[in-house]
Structure 1
């Protein structure tokens, strides 16, 4: 891997300081890494330690410039690394470095083709086969197109709503698998613990769409801004409330608020879910980059 160097860090603040110029140059593509890094910096300030396996990666060329990045910070098994775009040789070298470090990697998420190349090299070194569990697509909002209005309004969820919000977070992951034709539980996603959910509620970044009776019928969230970008998600409507326009109106209003803050709005879609892709396209979201979630079966 002539001319390329992999640099691992354990402190998210040091990582942001070292790679910030690279990350902020394309803040939509780097949204997952920067959002998580900023969140963990905030948690560390509150005395919360990151998972033991956490690392942050910079890929630097022979001039010292950052040309790729990644992280391993997922708090849920099997703790998949997340890769941003990087040179092909770096993705292969990362697999070799992880193998040499003795890290077990049974899943890997992020930008194509980096995740495919890294996973292929991991299986060459350690055996097994690679399976794609999810094809995802990152979108950015251009000009917002308002959907047909529906009754009700967007209201911020509060700490008193923590049980319902947590229930809907859990349901969101399983329902997303079913809607995409996968076995429920196929996709590994974080469900924030009670303390983290309370932090998110206090930050005011989770909203219900409530109907005319004031009953919650939908949940939309958004991450805090990171380098001027706020990512929308989760977006969840209980099965009995679907098809009524709640999601379109909630996401539109949250997106409008993000843009009113002076930030860029983005979100991920599951490429296997035509309904959500159609909804977001109608609102003005346009594809930016394709990513994938892979597992290694041994």
Structure 2
């Protein structure tokens, strides 16, 4: 289904990830680091649909085409948590503005927009003009790609793959990660939109072997690092969480370094997001060899 042509760009809304990947896969693969979130979610949900797991009817996938029909942008609305913010990849400015009008015409209430700048900012600003309200920044994020890995000073212990038997601790730490990240960035806990994946989703991730603990000399878990399966050859690291009592001992640096090494050994390019307000995390990742690629933001529309 296509939105009316307001500009030289055409907005094509796809109801499912399979149709979206068929239309936009080559575009995503051409810049797989910048596309990592959208590509990763599309591949994951397409696999779930193949297994008979239904997706919410509110979900959509966006392909932006220019006047010649070439794909020049993409996005999605698949967030499982309120206010279900769309996530936008780079697209022409006129397309980001046209998307705001298309969503308004579709009767969708959009109170937040995430993704690459300036597309997310332009879309949110136009939505605020159309529906009323002001745009506020919830979080400034930055996407980084690993160049040459620089190993940190060794820490005691080592990496252990988390299993389904660890689902309780992983669930607990996943939730703590989001709240602590807010506090470390100077925001109130819960200020950032997000939701801990349900146990079924966490079990799927654990079965895939893509979550690891750093364990100390006694075998006690002291840190959690996760990673997404590669999409178009790019794997994204996250979450990265150390409980407060265990911080400052090098667990995170060593865990992220070893996970990154393993991903590169598999042939993947490796990337991760940082919160620009978290100076400690940005410093750690820069020391490991991660370099900035693109700035993104999570925006909210306040009435």
Q: d(CA) in 2 for partners of 1:190 and 1:113?
A: 25
Give structure 1 regions of 4+ aligned residues with deviation exceeding 3 angstroms: none
Q: Where does residue 240 of structure 1 map in the other structure?
A: 245
Q: Out of 60, 65, 87, which is 1:60 matched to? A: 65
Task: Indicate whether 1:101 and 2:113 are aligned.
Answer: no
Q: d(CA) in 1 for partners of 2:164 and 2:8?
A: 51
Q: d(CA) in 1 for partners of 2:175 and 2:7?
A: 45
Q: Out of 122, 131, 147, which is 1:142 matched to? A: 147
TM score, norm. by length of structure 2: 0.98
Q: Where does residue 221 of structure 2 map in the other structure?
A: 216
Q: Where does residue 83 of structure 2 map in the other structure?
A: 78
Q: Secondary structure of the residue that 2:159 maps to in structure 1?
A: strand
Q: Out of 164, 188, 192, which is 1:187 matched to? A: 192
Report the Cα offset of residue 17 of structure 1.
1.1
Unaligned runs of 5+ in 1: none
Report the Cα offset of residue 3 of structure 1.
2.0
Q: Where does residue 27 of structure 2 map in the other structure?
A: 22
Report the Cα offset of residue 188 of structure 1.
1.1
Q: Where does residue 91 of structure 1 map in the other structure?
A: 96
Q: Where does residue 3 of structure 2 map in the other structure?
A: none
User: Alpha-carbon deviations, 1:41-70, whole Å to 9, x = none?
Assistant: 111112111122100000000111000000
Q: d(CA) in 1 for partners of 2:202 and 2:57?
A: 21
Q: Is the contact made by 1:6 and 1:90 (CA closer than 8 Å) also made in structure 2?
A: yes
User: Alpha-carbon deviations, 1:115-143, whole Å to 9, x = none?
Assistant: 11101110111001110010000000000
Q: Is the contact made by 2:7 and 2:94 (CA closer than 8 Å) also made in structure 1?
A: no
User: Alpha-carbon deviations, 1:33-92, whole Å to 9, x = none?
Assistant: 000000101111121111221000000001110000000000001000000000000000
Unaligned runs of 5+ in 2: 1-5
TM score, norm. by length of structure 1: 0.99
Q: Is the contact made by 2:75 and 2:87 (CA closer than 8 Å) also made in structure 1?
A: yes
User: Alpha-carbon deviations, 1:2-46, whole Å to 9, x = none?
Assistant: 321000001101111110110000000000000000010111112
Q: d(CA) in 2 for partners of 1:260 and 1:89?
A: 41
Q: d(CA) in 1 for partners of 2:108 and 2:196?
A: 24
Q: d(CA) in 1 for partners of 2:39 and 2:191?
A: 26
Q: d(CA) in 2 for partners of 1:30 and 1:211?
A: 35
Q: How many residues align?
A: 298
User: Alpha-carbon deviations, 1:190-247, whole Å to 9, x = none?
Assistant: 3110111100000000000000000000000000000000000000000000000000
Matches within 5 A, 1:1-298: 1-298=6-303
Q: d(CA) in 1 for partners of 2:11 and 2:265?
A: 39
